[in-house]
Amino acid sequence: MRTKDPRRVVVTGIGLVTPVGTGTEKAWKAILAGESGVSPISRFDVTGLKTTIAAEVKDFNAEDFLDKKSVKRLDLFIKYAVGASKMALEDSGITLTPELSTETACSLGCGLGGLQTMEDNHSLIVQGRPDRISPFFIPMMIGNMSSGIVALELGIRGPNYLCATACAAGAHAIGLGFQLIRDSGYQIVVSGGTESVITDLAIAGFNSLKALSTKNEDPTHASKPFDLRRDGFILGEGAGVLILEERERAIARNAKIYAEVLGFGASCDAFHFTAPPEDGAGAALAMENALKDASSFGLVPEDIRYINAHGTSTGLNDRMESLAIRNVFGEHAAKLAVSSTKSMTGHLLGAAGGVEAAFTVLAIRDGILPPTMNYEVPDPDCNLDYVPNSARKQKLSCAMTNSFGFGGTNGVLIFGAPGAWELKDI
């Protein structure tokens, strides 16, 4: 419930670990240049798999962020979370003193947790060697250890949450962080998403769902959201973390403010365990809820000029999301720019919402829209402006980012340019 004088929330730090680069500016530069992070899988033997390509992180050094002992004891998804969180906190210029640490929370998202750790240890059971199971197996594997280790490494003593809501997890975690500051009185939240499940089991599993692209012969062009020839998503990995901070505190310390969080909306399809309804009703409801949340700033649907889409490059999702956008925005949909950065990063699952929220904030900061790469053959059912194949300069006062996940779970965030919005009477 809103207070009489609701607290406002801004983004003061960003940390990125992505298939197109580690570090915020490196990754953002690659995205604007249309560079792809998709390539042949290098980590394991792909013999027998229908899909042999993925978007691997190639330039991350865990020892830049963790001591050698911790590096050996942690799954990659936790290492990515720590790296992105430490980069984000450094970027914010915040020093977490013992006093401030109790007013700081951690809210991360993750879909599958330590799948590689599970596979490695299960192989010992198959070999009849249960005595060789690592004592760190359980803490390496469970999803909430990403937020737990981040809190430990940074000294965060406020609430510590892990949203395990599949591909909406990162967006939900940021939405929860927004609410922790706005409604519950916390000063700072380290929020975002992390994931690393490029394993043979995950590839085989998604292949069985017929969810992955099999365009192995042309990796960089395999992810083609909204294009008529799309045949599935590309599995990616990484982490995206935002530092959310109470606005007056950020202003008082003369912080660099990237954007303001204006609204968050969530919903459930209540339709199917993997497929969204074709009419996009659940996605539309989440967008409507985010717009309603942001209406306290006087924001109306026509103020949204850019949407960073979920845009997975799967047949049903892209068609559903396009229809949902048209249903929510009506005639204004024709004036909207919509792009999918998954055309370059692949689908980072639980990390997608965090990484794409960062790209949305950076689009507002720089007044430039990231492109949808590999868009060449229009789909009559996807008839929006998808910013095809090259970045576009466009000043933004606000922007939306969508995240939808298995189980019918949806999350939508709206960010605004700093100083562009004032609260109205509520």
Judged against a pLDDT cut of 60, whether residue 171 lies above it is answered with yes
Instruction: Please state the pTM of the whole predicted model.
Output: 0.97
Name the percent of the chain lying above pLDDT 90: 94
pLDDT at 6: 77
**pLDDT band for position 81 (cuts 50, 70, 90):** very high
What is the spatial distance between Cα 292 and Cα 262, in angstroms, rounded to a whole number?
Answer: 10
Domain boundaries, the chain: 10-408
Judged against a pLDDT cut of 70, whether residue 4 lies above it is answered with no
Mean pLDDT confidence for 216-223: 98
How many CB atoms lie under 10 A from the CB of residue 207? 15
Strand partners, 384: none
pLDDT at 335: 96
* Tens digits of residue pLDDT in 138-160: 988 999 999 999 999 999 999 99
Contact assessment for residue 178 and residue 259, using Cβ atoms and an 8 Å cutoff: no
Chain centroid to CA 208: 24
- 403-424 burial, b if ≥16 CB within 10 A, otherwise e? bbbbbbbbbbbbbbbbeebeee
310 is catalytic: yes
Residue 337's closest CA among 303, 308, 359? 308
Task: Tell me the two tokens of residue 212.
Answer: 């992955």
* From 77-81, 220-224, 367-371, 420-424, the region with the lowest mean pLDDT: 420-424
Given the candidates 2.120.10.30, 3.40.50.2300, 3.40.47.10, 3.40.640.10, the CATH classification of the domain at 10-408 is: 3.40.47.10
**pLDDT band for position 1 (cuts 50, 70, 90):** very low
Contact assessment for residue 109 and residue 147, using Cβ atoms and an 8 Å cutoff: no
Backbone angles phi, psi at 3, to 5 degrees: -80, 170
Backbone angles phi, psi at 104, to 5 degrees: -115, 140
**Average pLDDT along the chain:** 96
* Tens digits of residue pLDDT in 260-318: 999 999 999 888 877 778 888 999 999 999 999 999 999 999 999 999 999 999 999 99
pLDDT at 250: 98
* The one catalytic residue among 167, 172, 382, 398: 167
* Tens digits of residue pLDDT in 30-44: 999 999 999 999 999
Which is more confidently placed, 126 or 3? 126
Residue 62 is classified by DSSP as G
* The one catalytic residue among 106, 172, 347, 382: 347
Judged against a pLDDT cut of 80, whether residue 203 lies above it is answered with yes
pLDDT at 5: 62
* The one catalytic residue among 163, 310, 382, 398: 310
Task: Provide the pairing of β-strand 238-246 with 9-18.
Answer: antiparallel
